[in-house]
Amino acid sequence: MVYGNTAIIFMVIAVVLGVLGLAFVGTYYLNKSVDQSAR
């Protein structure tokens, strides 16, 4: 199967944004939970 360069670039951006987004949301809420509980 042949894919165009554009399709690959968009797929890379979508997957990376999705995965990194999950990681950063997870880190944000973990830190927030520690900040709130420490008060």
Asked if 32 interacts with another protein (CB under 8 A), we say: no
Q: Is 21 in the site for another protein (CB under 8 A)?
A: no
**Residue 33 beta carbon to another protein: minimum distance, rounded to whole angstroms:** 7
* Calpha distance 33→2 (Å, rounded): 46
User: What's CA 34's distance to the chain center, in Å?
Assistant: 21
| Cα–Cα distance for residue pair 31/33, rounded to 1 Å | 5
Q: Rule CB under 8 A: which residues touch another protein?
A: 1, 3, 7-8, 11-12, 14-16, 19-20, 22-23, 26-27, 30-31, 33-34, 37-38
